[in-house]
Structure 1
Amino acid sequence: MGIKKNNTRAFCLKILYKILHKNVFFSDALIKYQNEFDEFNDNDKKYIYQLVVTLIRRLGYIEKIINLYLEKPIRNPEIKIVLQIGVAQIIYLRTPNYASVNQTVGIIRPKLKTFKPLVNAILRKVINNQKDYIHIINSTDHMLPAWILNKWKRNYGNETTELIIKSILSEPYLDISIDFSQTKIFKKFNAKLLPNGSIRLRKHNKISSLPMYKEGNWWVQDAAATIPANLLLNRINNNRKKKLVIDACAAPGGKSIQLLRSGLNVFSIDHDKKRIETMVKNFNRMNLKHNIINTNFLNWEPTNLDISAILLDAPCSGTGTFRRNPDIIWHRKKSDIMKLSEIQMELLEHSFKILKVGGTVVYTVCSIEPEEGINIAKKILNLPNIKLSKITSEEIPKLKESITNEGFVQILPHYWSEFGGLDGFFIARFEKK
């Protein structure tokens, strides 16, 4: 797809085409076009990110509004995205009308110029007829594909589903894990101190330009993502230097950093070479000695290792991270959930196979789907050599509502709403008998 160089909207079109029609994740699409992206200045980069993420997060609404003014569906995927870019600017980014129309129409390639009058007309109708679609914008029923929306309503009820969606529609934040004694370095950023000890930044500069980044005094990690490692550490109180812990599916490494900084001997395992590269950079910046193993955890058969604990952050649908990763919304299929649950069960079974008797497994997924969470946890408890290590409300500050009757944890995205919400996670802790 040929686009004009240094044109932010044209670049967004290129990225969005990959995301919406080639099922490429936003981060991977940026990597593919990294050289072109680097040519933009910082303000343009922010605008590109804002436009792409806003469009993906609000895509269900945008498509519904565009359809109000179409006599028949547009088949050309590139023109569909051009229209979506225009509507996202008009309604959600509050871009001046002339720019939303003229500059958006201007990114249509010459070979598709016959679509220019149609795009121009529809965008002007959106500008001049807000009363036509105000009911769409004010509803929470258009954000998700129908299969996810209906599934959540069945599992959590209409009221909770609406709270989850409203949380997902809000802008993501930046959570930082840092020693409490050093939180003062972020005072000028109006950082919030969260109940788990993380600090949260609503607005921030480029991450690498934040204070003490190069010195390795902190790392980026969602507040909810810190909980699984802390729950594991609660079961390893003595002689930590002599305890071997496995962080399975470890990249990008936030949980491994927690475990390493607590004094444990940690093996960090992941099969993805690119994600391991990121993990190595993070460990080196934090001045942490590490043992990284590049392999599929299911194929790892250790010998003569006395493994005290395993932290299994299993591959999952990622439905708990829709706010941070809205592209997942449009990539996931209903059939993915069952396929992933089979992999999760295999990973858990392998964990207990290599774990020593008396050892601990913490299983977690950034999903709010029962098939990947509570159903898996109940199923693994049917095995004869496994018992549940119940999680208590004292272990997770101000998240009492996330504790299930069984002693599992199911964090939903609207929890801690007074602080801006959380990523959704399921967590269960087990012991090998």
Structure 2
Amino acid sequence: MTDRGRSRPPRRSGPASPRDDRAAAGAPPEKVAADPGLAVRKHAVDILFATLDEGRPLDQVLDHRATIPAWRALTPADRGLVRAIVSTTLRRLGLVDDALKRLMVRPLPTKAARVREILRVAATQMLFMDVPDHAAVSLATELAGRDPTTRAWKAMVNGVLRSLGREKDEILADQDATRLVTPLWLWRDWCETWGEEKARAFATAHMVEPALDLSVKSDPEGWAKRFGGRVLPTGSVRLVPHGPIDRMEGFEAGEWWVQDAAAALPVRLLGDVADREVADLCAAPGGKTAQLAVRGAEVTAVDLSPHRLERVKQKLARLRLTGVTTLAADLESWTPKAP
């Protein structure tokens, strides 16, 4: 229920957990690689489980995922879809969980954490990603049935999601969206500090898909015109995202890279770095390293994670930037060469 309540509760699909709850969370589903749709949903479930249930940082989870052959076997479009599902789920988690809660008689047990992530992935697509209800329900039900740790909840998953398909418009209309997208502790802090009106304004801003900022090798005005964006005072090109990034003009040619405008400021503040030796510490994903290399610096890119450094190398290769030294090292023990 929201704070405002409901005039009529939505139809329920039955108990949230079956009588036989012997399944244990964590085992991967079987034989999903042959079906790209299932594979995408499984990867999204795995990432959300590692982040929300195991408490691992999202960037580390994604770095590890990049080393898994099944992940590398996905097409770029499918990997992009996984990221879109994960990011949308996390951004709208309060709304997703509230919608599912309305349709369940009682909460899932702790051992059914993977079931919860299967429900979240499907509900996110149905509520916020324009995926046809029947497709989201079918894939989620199939995924639950193929995983021995979630198989006992297959019928429940199907019932809850079919109910969501019938009730979603009513639920969305009744939800206090600006409140639910914000964690309760943060909402309370905002209200105490700024008042509820400003807290709602902050929360509303969080619901808007962020703009895409690019750093370009040259001609920012020209690239802004091509993409229908604008050049910020700091030199970054800002645009509204439209389609897969790797299919945008100039990506394969290495003419630009994605980099938040704020993240691009430090290198700009260094001024002329041509022919100077510069160490970029905690270098991944490599935006600042690329900036420095474009400006003619002799760069040493240092990062603790060899996997993250691989992403830096891949970015530099796409951008046709050479002369950068990459080094996997712990900054607490690394000693740079004397200037």
Shorter-chain TM-score tier: 0.7 to 0.9
Q: Give the counterpart of 1:57 among 76, 85, 91.
A: 91
The share of aligned pairs that are identical, in percent, is: 24
How far is 1:131 from its partner? 3.0
Structure 2 counterparts to residues 321-360 of structure 1, below 5 A: none
C-alpha contact (below 8 Å) 1:12/1:52 kept by paired residues: no
C-alpha contact (below 8 Å) 1:267/1:290 kept by paired residues: yes
The reply to whether residue 79 of structure 1 matches residue 115 of structure 2 is: yes
Counterparts of 1:214 and 1:108, CA distance in 2: 38
Task: Report SS of the residue matched to 1:35.
Answer: helix
Q: Give the counterpart of 2:163 among 117, 122, 125.
A: 125
Q: Which residue of 2 aligns with 1:35?
A: 70
Counterparts of 2:135 and 2:207, CA distance in 1: 25
Counterparts of 2:217 and 2:129, CA distance in 1: 37
The reply to whether residue 6 of structure 1 matches residue 45 of structure 2 is: no
Counterparts of 1:156 and 1:288, CA distance in 2: 49
C-alpha offsets along residues 47-95 of structure 1, whole Å, 9 cap, x if unaligned?
4333332222212211112112222211212222222233223221233
Task: Report SS of the residue matched to 2:238.
Answer: strand
How far is 1:156 from its partner? 5.8
User: Is the alpha carbon distance of 1:38 and 1:196 closer, same or farther for their aligned partners in structure 2, counting shifts above 3 Å?
Assistant: same
Q: Which residue of 2 aligns with 1:15?
A: 44
Q: Give the counterpart of 2:321 among 287, 293, 302.
A: 287
Q: Which residue of 1 aligns with 2:133?
A: 97
Q: Give the counterpart of 1:134 among 173, 190, 193.
A: 173
Which has the larger displacement, 224-233 or 92-101? 92-101
Which has the larger displacement, 7-16 or 268-277? 7-16
Counterparts of 1:123 and 1:205, CA distance in 2: 28
Q: Which residue of 2 aligns with 1:248?
A: 281
Task: Report SS of the residue matched to 2:215.
Answer: strand
User: Is the alpha carbon distance of 1:113 and 1:169 closer, same or farther for their aligned partners in structure 2, counting shifts above 3 Å?
Assistant: same
Which has the larger displacement, 296-305 or 69-78? 296-305
User: Is the alpha carbon distance of 1:122 and 1:205 closer, same or farther for their aligned partners in structure 2, counting shifts above 3 Å?
Assistant: closer
Q: Which residue of 1 aligns with 2:302?
A: 269
Detail structure 1 runs of 4+ shifted over 6 Å in the superposition. none
Q: Which residue of 2 aligns with 1:190?
A: 228
User: Is the alpha carbon distance of 1:186 and 1:40 closer, same or farther for their aligned partners in structure 2, counting shifts above 3 Å?
Assistant: same
C-alpha contact (below 8 Å) 1:16/1:81 kept by paired residues: yes
Q: Which residue of 1 aligns with 2:5?
A: none
Which amino acid in 2 is paired with 1:102? S
Task: Report SS of the residue matched to 1:246.
Answer: strand
Counterparts of 2:267 and 2:206, CA distance in 1: 25
Task: Report SS of the residue matched to 2:106.
Answer: coil
User: Is the alpha carbon distance of 1:244 and 1:161 closer, same or farther for their aligned partners in structure 2, counting shifts above 3 Å?
Assistant: farther
User: Is the alpha carbon distance of 1:93 and 1:264 closer, same or farther for their aligned partners in structure 2, counting shifts above 3 Å?
Assistant: closer
C-alpha contact (below 8 Å) 1:178/1:198 kept by paired residues: yes
Q: Which residue of 2 aligns with 1:308?
A: none
Q: Give the counterpart of 2:206 among 151, 161, 168.
A: 168
User: Is the alpha carbon distance of 1:187 and 1:267 closer, same or farther for their aligned partners in structure 2, counting shifts above 3 Å?
Assistant: same
- Structure 1 unaligned blocks of 5 or more: 306-433
C-alpha contact (below 8 Å) 1:269/1:294 kept by paired residues: yes
Q: Give the counterpart of 1:216 among 230, 251, 254.
A: 254
Which amino acid in 2 is paired with 1:118? M
Which amino acid in 1 is paired with 2:268? N
The reply to whether residue 230 of structure 1 matches residue 268 of structure 2 is: yes
How far is 1:197 from its partner? 2.1
Which has the larger displacement, 262-271 or 63-72? 262-271
TM-score (norm 1): 0.59
Which amino acid in 1 is paired with 2:292? L
Aligned length: 298
Higher relative contact order (CA 8 A, sep 6+): 2
User: Is the alpha carbon distance of 1:257 and 1:160 closer, same or farther for their aligned partners in structure 2, counting shifts above 3 Å?
Assistant: farther
Query: 1 or 2, which has the higher strand percentage?
Result: 1
Structure 2 counterparts to residues 289-328 of structure 1, below 5 A: 289-302=323-336, 304-305=338-339
Which amino acid in 1 is paired with 2:295? S
User: Is the alpha carbon distance of 1:252 and 1:114 closer, same or farther for their aligned partners in structure 2, counting shifts above 3 Å?
Assistant: closer
User: Is the alpha carbon distance of 1:106 and 1:158 closer, same or farther for their aligned partners in structure 2, counting shifts above 3 Å?
Assistant: same
